Amino acid sequence: MRYILPSTIITLLLSAGKALAFCPVCVVAVGAGVGLSRYLKIDDTITGLWIGGLLVAMSGWTINYLEKKKVNFVGIKILVVAAYYTLVCAPLYRNEIIGHPLNKFWGVDKLMLGIAIGSVFLLGGDLLYHYLKKKNGGHAHFPFEKIVFPVAPLIILSVIFYFLTKG
């Protein structure tokens, strides 16, 4: 289980053929969620959801930016994703925020579990938005749909994990 979640996330993140840009409001919403959850001392699993979402959004933004600037070489997407996850997770691990033996849920570190699940669901929400928009002739179904689809899963999962970890 320890290696399955990170491997699955990395595979899903790198399997997308085209980088989809996340809107700035999404990134601000996710960033605000991270800051707010730490400030309110919310469980690390929930904080991890938002950190994972933020990492996916920032990776997508960076890849899209590099493509627009025509910076392209073999493995650039892997490098960008790996850089973001390493820049966030390595210091957390070094300072024992990740890896603390008493900070586990389902046998996995709470923060890493949240990051993994948050990454998958934010990416899934964004991919679903683009799929539904394409099926609707390139138009959104309702205002702010581009924000709702990626962020709503994180909000729903935050509520679910609140009750699961409440103890």
Q: Kindly report, residue by residue over 12-47, the tens digit of the pLDDT.
A: 555 555 545 555 555 566 556 666 776 787 888 988
User: Global pTM?
Assistant: 0.75
Instruction: Name the domain count of the chain.
Output: 1
Does residue 6 belong to any structural domain of this protein?
A: no
Reported as a single tens digit per residue, the pLDDT across 64-91 is 999 999 988 888 999 999 999 988 888 8
Does residue 106 belong to any structural domain of this protein?
A: yes
Write out the residue range of the structural domain in which residue 114 sits.
24-165
Instruction: Please give the angle made by the CA atoms of 52, 56 and 60, to the nearest 5 degrees.
Output: 170
The answer to whether 48 touches 91, Cβ cutoff 8 Å, is no
Strands (E), the chain: 104-105, 108-109
